[in-house]
Amino acid sequence: QKEVEQNSGPLSVPEGAIASLNCTYSDRVSQSFFWYRQYSGKSPELIMSIYSNGDKEDGRFTAQLNKASQYVSLLIRDSQPSDSATYLCAVKRDSGAGSYQLTFGKGTKLSVIP
Amino acid sequence: DGGITQSPKYLFRKEGQNVTLSCEQNLNHDAMYWYRQDPGQGLRLIYYSQIVNDFQKGDIAEGYSVSREKKESFPLTVTSAQKNPTAFYLCASRELAGVNNEQFFGPGTRLTVL
């Protein structure tokens, strides 16, 4: 069973600080990685995807990927109370014939303190 | 107004009853997915479909059934054989063309067994 591991938290950071969310995965051949944000009682929304080693920046969000260490992270700069949510890491696994599935971690709950 | 709709938002079922959850999308996406989420847990794949009249079991298909008679619709039936059906059910879809097209989620249906 391919696994995706996340620290469940809660991770508490003060407003304006950098929040660092981490994810490790067991399937060495995984190529694509996604971060979803899920507010309490709501469905997940995609915030970042990353496919190559290194950093990918989008506004206040930076995704970092290290395939050799099987590690992907999400940094949130200038954290705001509205960033308080659960962040889900998802790893793509190919099912053949152009199909793929996502394996999700259990999520890290982030709390940004005003 | 494009998107994924799920109905109902809340559903209550008595033990021994079958219930059907609706998922409709007008994004012209080929692939559709059903996930289940339990409190404090990540998402687990129930079924997925890439084309009309074809679908595949996910990791936890037992006690569930689906159909894909139209491209835009992928209903999920929770049967009486599902031992612990109380959960948050999420439908997702994505374009099939392209290697890394992201999955987008509907708003979810919260099912409670009384």
Q: What is the pLDDT of residue B46?
A: 97
Stronger pLDDT, B110 or A31, i.e. the higher one: B110
In this prediction, what percent of chain B has a pLDDT beyond 90?
Answer: 76
Chain B: nearest CA to A44, how far in angstroms? Answer: 6
Inter-chain residue contact B103 with A105, CB threshold 8 Å: no
Mean pLDDT of the residues in chain B:
92
- A72-98 residue pLDDT tens: 999 999 999 999 999 999 998 877 766
Query: CA-CA distance, B22 to B44, in Å (whole number)?
Result: 18
Buried b (16+ CB within 10 A) or exposed e, B42-78: bbbbbbbbbeeeebeebeebeebbbbbeeebebbbeb
Inter-chain residue contact B100 with A99, CB threshold 8 Å: no
Task: Establish if A52 touches chain B: CB-CB under 8 angstroms.
Answer: no
Inter-chain residue contact B48 with A92, CB threshold 8 Å: no
- B67-92 residue pLDDT tens: 999 999 999 999 988 889 999 999 99
Tokens 């600080």 — which residue? A17
In the predicted structure, residue A25 carries a pLDDT above the cut 90: yes
Chain A: nearest CA to B79, how far in angstroms? Answer: 23
In this prediction, what percent of chain B has a pLDDT beyond 70?
Answer: 96
Task: Establish if B96 touches chain A: CB-CB under 8 angstroms.
Answer: yes
| Amino acid at the residue B101 | N
Inter-chain residue contact A88 with B42, CB threshold 8 Å: yes
> What DSSP string describes chain A?
---EEE----EEEETTSPEEEEEEES-TT---EEEEEE-TTS--EEEEEE-SSEEEEETTEEEEEETTTTEEEEEESS--GGG-EEEEEEEEEEEETTEEEEEE---EEEEEE-
Mean per-residue pLDDT for A11-18? Answer: 97
- Contacts with A88 from chain B: Cβ below 8 Å: 42-43
According to DSSP, the residues that pair with B34 across neighbouring strands are B47, B91
Looking at residue B110, what DSSP letter applies?
E
Q: Which of A79-83, B49-53, B98-102 has the lowest mean pLDDT?
A: B98-102
Inter-chain residue contact A99 with B31, CB threshold 8 Å: yes
In this prediction, what percent of chain A has a pLDDT beyond 70?
Answer: 96
